[in-house]
Structure 1
Amino acid sequence: MIGAKAAGRPARTAVVVGNPKPFSRTLASAMRMARELSGQEPGLVVDLVTLGASLFDWDDPTVAELVSEVGRADLVVVGSPTYKGSYSGLLKLFLDRFATDGLTGVAVPLMLGAGRGHTLAPELMLRPVLTEIGATTVRGLYVIDNRHGDPAAYADWLASTRPAVDALVRRRRGASV
Protein backbone atom coordinates (compact mmCIF):
# COMPACT_ATOMS: atom_id res chain seq x y z
CA MET A 1 0.00 0.00 0.00
CA ILE A 2 1.19 3.48 -0.80
CA GLY A 3 0.22 4.82 2.61
CA ALA A 4 3.61 3.86 3.98
CA LYS A 5 6.17 6.64 3.92
CA ALA A 6 8.10 6.67 0.70
CA ALA A 7 10.56 9.30 -0.39
CA GLY A 8 10.38 10.83 3.10
CA ARG A 9 6.72 11.83 3.22
CA PRO A 10 3.35 10.12 3.22
CA ALA A 11 1.45 10.01 -0.07
CA ARG A 12 -0.96 12.87 -0.67
CA THR A 13 -4.38 11.38 -1.36
CA ALA A 14 -7.45 13.31 -2.47
CA VAL A 15 -11.07 12.45 -3.14
CA VAL A 16 -13.25 14.52 -5.49
CA VAL A 17 -16.95 13.70 -5.78
CA GLY A 18 -19.45 15.29 -8.13
CA ASN A 19 -22.73 14.06 -6.68
CA PRO A 20 -25.43 16.71 -6.23
CA LYS A 21 -26.35 15.13 -2.90
CA PRO A 22 -24.03 15.89 0.02
CA PHE A 23 -22.56 12.91 1.91
CA SER A 24 -23.69 10.61 -0.91
CA ARG A 25 -23.11 6.93 -1.60
CA THR A 26 -20.64 8.11 -4.24
CA LEU A 27 -18.66 9.91 -1.54
CA ALA A 28 -18.73 6.84 0.70
CA SER A 29 -17.49 4.66 -2.17
CA ALA A 30 -14.72 7.09 -3.13
CA MET A 31 -13.57 7.32 0.49
CA ARG A 32 -13.50 3.50 0.72
CA MET A 33 -11.39 3.29 -2.45
CA ALA A 34 -8.98 5.99 -1.28
CA ARG A 35 -8.46 4.21 2.04
CA GLU A 36 -8.05 0.81 0.37
CA LEU A 37 -5.55 2.13 -2.17
CA SER A 38 -3.49 4.34 0.12
CA GLY A 39 -3.80 2.66 3.51
CA GLN A 40 -4.77 5.99 5.08
CA GLU A 41 -7.56 8.54 5.23
CA PRO A 42 -7.41 10.97 2.31
CA GLY A 43 -5.78 14.28 3.17
CA LEU A 44 -8.26 16.21 1.04
CA VAL A 45 -11.93 15.48 0.44
CA VAL A 46 -13.84 17.66 -2.02
CA ASP A 47 -17.58 17.03 -1.99
CA LEU A 48 -18.32 19.45 -4.83
CA VAL A 49 -21.95 20.04 -3.93
CA THR A 50 -20.79 21.85 -0.80
CA LEU A 51 -19.10 24.52 -2.95
CA GLY A 52 -22.43 25.72 -4.34
CA ALA A 53 -22.44 28.69 -6.70
CA SER A 54 -18.71 29.29 -6.23
CA LEU A 55 -18.14 26.58 -8.87
CA PHE A 56 -19.59 29.01 -11.41
CA ASP A 57 -17.24 31.84 -10.39
CA TRP A 58 -13.98 31.34 -12.31
CA ASP A 59 -12.27 33.83 -9.98
CA ASP A 60 -13.30 32.12 -6.75
CA PRO A 61 -10.11 31.68 -4.65
CA THR A 62 -11.43 28.69 -2.68
CA VAL A 63 -12.17 26.69 -5.81
CA ALA A 64 -8.84 27.75 -7.35
CA GLU A 65 -7.00 26.51 -4.26
CA LEU A 66 -8.87 23.20 -4.33
CA VAL A 67 -7.95 22.73 -8.00
CA SER A 68 -4.32 23.41 -7.10
CA GLU A 69 -4.34 20.99 -4.15
CA VAL A 70 -6.06 18.22 -6.10
CA GLY A 71 -3.66 18.81 -8.98
CA ARG A 72 -0.66 18.17 -6.70
CA ALA A 73 -2.03 15.02 -5.06
CA ASP A 74 -0.20 11.75 -5.61
CA LEU A 75 -3.47 9.82 -5.81
CA VAL A 76 -6.94 11.17 -6.62
CA VAL A 77 -10.13 9.13 -6.54
CA VAL A 78 -12.65 10.94 -8.76
CA GLY A 79 -16.24 9.83 -8.25
CA SER A 80 -19.57 10.57 -9.85
CA PRO A 81 -23.01 9.10 -10.14
CA THR A 82 -23.92 8.03 -13.66
CA TYR A 83 -26.26 10.44 -15.44
CA LYS A 84 -27.33 9.73 -19.01
CA GLY A 85 -24.37 7.38 -19.39
CA SER A 86 -21.81 9.94 -18.26
CA TYR A 87 -20.48 11.76 -15.20
CA SER A 88 -22.31 14.65 -13.54
CA GLY A 89 -22.31 18.25 -14.69
CA LEU A 90 -21.14 19.21 -11.21
CA LEU A 91 -17.97 17.20 -11.73
CA LYS A 92 -17.53 18.68 -15.21
CA LEU A 93 -17.65 22.21 -13.75
CA PHE A 94 -14.73 21.33 -11.49
CA LEU A 95 -12.67 19.36 -14.03
CA ASP A 96 -13.00 22.18 -16.56
CA ARG A 97 -10.84 24.29 -14.22
CA PHE A 98 -7.76 22.14 -14.80
CA ALA A 99 -5.17 22.97 -17.42
CA THR A 100 -4.10 20.13 -19.72
CA ASP A 101 -1.24 19.42 -17.32
CA GLY A 102 -3.10 20.37 -14.15
CA LEU A 103 -3.65 16.93 -12.64
CA THR A 104 -0.21 15.46 -12.09
CA GLY A 105 -0.88 12.36 -10.00
CA VAL A 106 -2.58 9.03 -10.45
CA ALA A 107 -6.33 9.34 -10.95
CA VAL A 108 -8.85 6.59 -10.33
CA PRO A 109 -12.21 7.00 -12.10
CA LEU A 110 -15.20 5.76 -10.08
CA MET A 111 -18.85 5.86 -11.07
CA LEU A 112 -21.97 4.54 -9.40
CA GLY A 113 -25.20 3.69 -11.17
CA ALA A 114 -28.47 1.84 -10.89
CA GLY A 115 -27.77 -0.96 -13.35
CA ARG A 116 -25.18 -2.76 -15.40
CA GLY A 117 -26.06 -0.89 -18.59
CA HIS A 118 -23.45 1.80 -17.86
CA THR A 119 -20.62 -0.44 -16.69
CA LEU A 120 -18.21 1.10 -19.19
CA ALA A 121 -19.01 4.72 -18.28
CA PRO A 122 -15.91 5.21 -16.09
CA GLU A 123 -13.70 3.97 -18.93
CA LEU A 124 -15.43 5.70 -21.82
CA MET A 125 -16.49 8.98 -20.22
CA LEU A 126 -14.47 9.84 -17.11
CA ARG A 127 -11.07 8.28 -17.72
CA PRO A 128 -10.39 10.16 -21.01
CA VAL A 129 -11.09 13.51 -19.33
CA LEU A 130 -8.76 12.71 -16.44
CA THR A 131 -6.07 11.75 -18.93
CA GLU A 132 -6.64 14.94 -20.93
CA ILE A 133 -5.97 17.10 -17.87
CA GLY A 134 -2.67 15.36 -17.18
CA ALA A 135 -3.38 12.43 -14.86
CA THR A 136 -1.93 9.00 -15.14
CA THR A 137 -5.04 6.84 -15.00
CA VAL A 138 -5.90 3.27 -14.21
CA ARG A 139 -8.89 1.18 -15.20
CA GLY A 140 -12.02 2.71 -13.70
CA LEU A 141 -14.57 1.06 -11.47
CA TYR A 142 -18.34 1.02 -11.83
CA VAL A 143 -20.33 0.09 -8.72
CA ILE A 144 -24.03 -0.68 -8.62
CA ASP A 145 -25.65 1.81 -6.21
CA ASN A 146 -27.29 -0.73 -3.95
CA ARG A 147 -23.95 -2.56 -3.54
CA HIS A 148 -21.87 0.49 -2.62
CA GLY A 149 -21.51 -0.69 0.99
CA ASP A 150 -20.56 -4.26 0.09
CA PRO A 151 -16.79 -4.91 0.16
CA ALA A 152 -17.29 -7.60 -2.50
CA ALA A 153 -18.31 -4.88 -4.98
CA TYR A 154 -14.72 -3.61 -4.86
CA ALA A 155 -12.71 -6.76 -4.15
CA ASP A 156 -11.88 -8.00 -7.66
CA TRP A 157 -11.12 -4.49 -8.93
CA LEU A 158 -8.88 -3.77 -5.94
CA ALA A 159 -7.03 -7.09 -6.29
CA SER A 160 -6.24 -6.46 -9.95
CA THR A 161 -5.69 -2.69 -9.87
CA ARG A 162 -4.05 -1.97 -6.51
CA PRO A 163 -0.59 -3.19 -7.63
CA ALA A 164 -0.65 -0.85 -10.64
CA VAL A 165 -1.79 2.11 -8.54
CA ASP A 166 0.89 1.37 -5.97
CA ALA A 167 3.64 1.16 -8.61
CA LEU A 168 2.50 4.33 -10.40
CA VAL A 169 2.30 6.37 -7.20
CA ARG A 170 5.69 5.12 -6.01
CA ARG A 171 7.23 5.99 -9.38
CA ARG A 172 5.65 9.44 -9.34
CA ARG A 173 6.83 10.15 -5.81
CA GLY A 174 10.34 8.96 -6.56
CA ALA A 175 10.49 11.29 -9.53
CA SER A 176 9.13 14.27 -7.62
CA VAL A 177 11.57 14.18 -4.71
Structure 2
Amino acid sequence: MQSWFRSLPLVASLVAAALLGACAGTATTQVTLTPPDQAPVCQPQAALKASVFWRTQWRADQKDVPEREAAAAQGITRFFADGGCFASAVVARVEAGRSDFSVPAGADLLIVLTVRELGPTVKLLSSAALVEGGTEVVVDVAVVRPGRREADREFSIRWQDGGPGVVKGVQTLPSDMAAALKAGLLTRQGP
Protein backbone atom coordinates (compact mmCIF):
# COMPACT_ATOMS: atom_id res chain seq x y z
CA MET A 1 0.00 0.00 0.00
CA GLN A 2 2.87 2.38 0.79
CA SER A 3 4.38 2.02 -2.69
CA TRP A 4 1.11 3.15 -4.25
CA PHE A 5 1.12 6.34 -2.16
CA ARG A 6 4.72 6.99 -3.14
CA SER A 7 3.83 6.80 -6.82
CA LEU A 8 0.87 9.19 -6.41
CA PRO A 9 3.01 12.30 -7.08
CA LEU A 10 4.34 10.63 -10.25
CA VAL A 11 0.81 9.81 -11.43
CA ALA A 12 -0.34 13.37 -10.68
CA SER A 13 2.63 14.76 -12.63
CA LEU A 14 1.84 12.55 -15.63
CA VAL A 15 -1.83 13.61 -15.61
CA ALA A 16 -0.86 17.29 -15.35
CA ALA A 17 1.62 16.90 -18.22
CA ALA A 18 -1.05 15.23 -20.37
CA LEU A 19 -3.50 18.05 -19.67
CA LEU A 20 -0.90 20.71 -20.44
CA GLY A 21 0.02 18.89 -23.63
CA ALA A 22 -3.64 18.86 -24.60
CA CYS A 23 -3.73 22.66 -24.23
CA ALA A 24 -0.76 23.13 -26.54
CA GLY A 25 -2.51 21.91 -29.67
CA THR A 26 -2.01 22.98 -33.24
CA ALA A 27 -4.23 25.76 -34.52
CA THR A 28 -5.77 25.70 -37.97
CA THR A 29 -7.39 28.65 -39.70
CA GLN A 30 -10.65 28.42 -41.63
CA VAL A 31 -12.11 31.26 -43.69
CA THR A 32 -15.64 31.18 -45.07
CA LEU A 33 -17.08 33.91 -47.27
CA THR A 34 -20.83 34.12 -47.79
CA PRO A 35 -21.63 34.20 -50.63
CA PRO A 36 -18.49 32.36 -51.74
CA ASP A 37 -16.21 33.11 -54.70
CA GLN A 38 -15.53 36.74 -53.85
CA ALA A 39 -13.00 38.75 -55.83
CA PRO A 40 -10.55 40.69 -53.64
CA VAL A 41 -11.81 44.05 -52.37
CA CYS A 42 -8.31 45.39 -51.77
CA GLN A 43 -6.45 46.81 -54.75
CA PRO A 44 -2.91 47.54 -53.57
CA GLN A 45 -1.62 48.17 -57.13
CA ALA A 46 -4.23 50.85 -57.88
CA ALA A 47 -3.87 54.36 -56.49
CA LEU A 48 -7.27 54.20 -54.79
CA LYS A 49 -8.24 56.21 -51.74
CA ALA A 50 -10.72 54.38 -49.54
CA SER A 51 -12.87 55.43 -46.64
CA VAL A 52 -13.59 52.68 -44.13
CA PHE A 53 -16.54 52.98 -41.78
CA TRP A 54 -16.93 50.33 -39.10
CA ARG A 55 -19.62 49.56 -36.59
CA THR A 56 -20.69 46.70 -34.36
CA GLN A 57 -23.79 44.56 -34.15
CA TRP A 58 -23.29 42.29 -31.15
CA ARG A 59 -25.69 39.59 -30.06
CA ALA A 60 -27.89 40.51 -27.08
CA ASP A 61 -25.88 38.45 -24.56
CA GLN A 62 -22.43 39.65 -25.71
CA LYS A 63 -19.95 40.00 -22.84
CA ASP A 64 -17.04 42.43 -22.49
CA VAL A 65 -18.32 44.78 -25.22
CA PRO A 66 -15.89 47.69 -24.54
CA GLU A 67 -12.87 45.36 -24.66
CA ARG A 68 -14.06 43.71 -27.88
CA GLU A 69 -14.72 47.08 -29.50
CA ALA A 70 -11.25 48.32 -28.55
CA ALA A 71 -9.73 45.16 -30.05
CA ALA A 72 -11.82 45.59 -33.22
CA ALA A 73 -10.68 49.22 -33.55
CA GLN A 74 -7.02 48.23 -33.15
CA GLY A 75 -7.26 45.36 -35.63
CA ILE A 76 -9.15 47.32 -38.29
CA THR A 77 -6.85 50.33 -37.98
CA ARG A 78 -3.75 48.10 -38.08
CA PHE A 79 -4.92 46.26 -41.19
CA PHE A 80 -5.59 49.40 -43.23
CA ALA A 81 -2.52 51.25 -41.88
CA ASP A 82 -0.19 48.46 -43.03
CA GLY A 83 -0.82 49.63 -46.61
CA GLY A 84 -1.51 46.29 -48.25
CA CYS A 85 -5.08 47.12 -49.24
CA PHE A 86 -5.30 50.61 -50.80
CA ALA A 87 -2.92 53.48 -51.53
CA SER A 88 -4.52 55.25 -48.57
CA ALA A 89 -7.44 54.59 -46.27
CA VAL A 90 -9.21 56.68 -43.65
CA VAL A 91 -10.85 54.59 -40.90
CA ALA A 92 -13.75 55.93 -38.82
CA ARG A 93 -16.22 54.45 -36.35
CA VAL A 94 -19.94 55.05 -37.07
CA GLU A 95 -23.11 54.45 -35.05
CA ALA A 96 -24.40 50.90 -34.93
CA GLY A 97 -27.84 51.70 -36.41
CA ARG A 98 -26.65 53.86 -39.29
CA SER A 99 -27.69 52.56 -42.70
CA ASP A 100 -27.36 55.49 -45.11
CA PHE A 101 -23.88 55.70 -46.56
CA SER A 102 -22.28 57.56 -49.41
CA VAL A 103 -18.66 57.81 -50.48
CA PRO A 104 -17.04 60.80 -48.78
CA ALA A 105 -15.53 63.54 -50.94
CA GLY A 106 -12.01 62.67 -52.07
CA ALA A 107 -12.48 58.91 -51.69
CA ASP A 108 -12.70 56.42 -54.55
CA LEU A 109 -14.84 53.97 -52.60
CA LEU A 110 -16.34 53.27 -49.20
CA ILE A 111 -15.97 50.02 -47.27
CA VAL A 112 -18.51 49.49 -44.46
CA LEU A 113 -17.55 46.82 -41.92
CA THR A 114 -20.07 45.48 -39.39
CA VAL A 115 -18.35 43.44 -36.67
CA ARG A 116 -20.74 40.80 -35.33
CA GLU A 117 -18.35 38.48 -33.49
CA LEU A 118 -14.85 38.88 -32.12
CA GLY A 119 -13.71 36.65 -29.34
CA PRO A 120 -12.15 33.51 -27.99
CA THR A 121 -14.07 30.25 -28.04
CA VAL A 122 -13.61 27.28 -25.70
CA LYS A 123 -15.35 23.91 -25.73
CA LEU A 124 -14.62 21.48 -22.92
CA LEU A 125 -14.68 17.71 -23.42
CA SER A 126 -15.56 18.08 -27.11
CA SER A 127 -12.67 15.96 -28.37
CA ALA A 128 -9.94 13.60 -27.21
CA ALA A 129 -7.83 16.66 -26.38
CA LEU A 130 -10.33 17.60 -23.62
CA VAL A 131 -10.20 21.27 -24.67
CA GLU A 132 -10.98 22.75 -28.08
CA GLY A 133 -10.73 26.48 -28.57
CA GLY A 134 -9.52 29.38 -30.60
CA THR A 135 -10.80 32.69 -31.90
CA GLU A 136 -13.76 33.57 -34.09
CA VAL A 137 -14.24 36.75 -36.13
CA VAL A 138 -17.43 37.49 -38.09
CA VAL A 139 -17.60 40.67 -40.18
CA ASP A 140 -20.16 41.82 -42.75
CA VAL A 141 -18.63 43.80 -45.62
CA ALA A 142 -20.35 46.30 -47.93
CA VAL A 143 -18.56 48.09 -50.79
CA VAL A 144 -20.10 51.39 -51.95
CA ARG A 145 -18.95 53.16 -55.13
CA PRO A 146 -19.16 56.94 -55.74
CA GLY A 147 -22.58 58.22 -56.70
CA ARG A 148 -24.34 55.27 -55.06
CA ARG A 149 -26.15 55.07 -51.72
CA GLU A 150 -26.43 51.29 -51.76
CA ALA A 151 -23.68 48.71 -51.74
CA ASP A 152 -22.38 47.26 -55.01
CA ARG A 153 -21.17 44.19 -53.13
CA GLU A 154 -22.09 42.66 -49.79
CA PHE A 155 -20.66 39.55 -48.17
CA SER A 156 -19.66 38.12 -44.80
CA ILE A 157 -16.29 36.93 -43.55
CA ARG A 158 -16.21 34.16 -40.94
CA TRP A 159 -12.64 33.55 -39.74
CA GLN A 160 -11.84 30.86 -37.19
CA ASP A 161 -8.42 29.98 -35.81
CA GLY A 162 -8.05 27.15 -33.33
CA GLY A 163 -8.66 23.48 -32.84
CA PRO A 164 -8.24 20.61 -30.39
CA GLY A 165 -5.93 21.50 -27.53
CA VAL A 166 -5.81 25.22 -28.41
CA VAL A 167 -6.61 27.85 -25.80
CA LYS A 168 -6.40 31.51 -26.82
CA GLY A 169 -7.20 34.58 -24.79
CA VAL A 170 -8.28 38.10 -25.61
CA GLN A 171 -4.72 39.36 -26.16
CA THR A 172 -4.73 38.06 -29.76
CA LEU A 173 -8.03 39.72 -30.78
CA PRO A 174 -6.54 42.79 -32.57
CA SER A 175 -4.21 40.53 -34.60
CA ASP A 176 -7.05 38.09 -35.26
CA MET A 177 -9.26 40.91 -36.58
CA ALA A 178 -6.47 42.08 -38.91
CA ALA A 179 -5.88 38.48 -40.09
CA ALA A 180 -9.60 38.01 -40.80
CA LEU A 181 -9.69 41.19 -42.89
CA LYS A 182 -6.59 40.14 -44.79
CA ALA A 183 -8.09 36.73 -45.53
CA GLY A 184 -11.46 38.14 -46.57
CA LEU A 185 -10.58 41.38 -48.36
CA LEU A 186 -7.16 40.80 -49.89
CA THR A 187 -7.23 37.17 -50.95
CA ARG A 188 -9.43 35.64 -53.65
CA GLN A 189 -11.66 33.03 -52.06
CA GLY A 190 -13.22 30.05 -53.76
CA PRO A 191 -12.24 27.79 -56.69
TM beyond 0.5: no
Larger radius of gyration: 2
Which of the pair has the greater relative contact order for Cα pairs under 8 Å at 6+ separation? 2
Structure in which a larger fraction of residues adopt strand: 2
TM-score range relative to shorter protein: 0.3 to 0.5
So what's the TM-score if we normalise by structure 2? 0.37
So what's the TM-score if we normalise by structure 1? 0.39
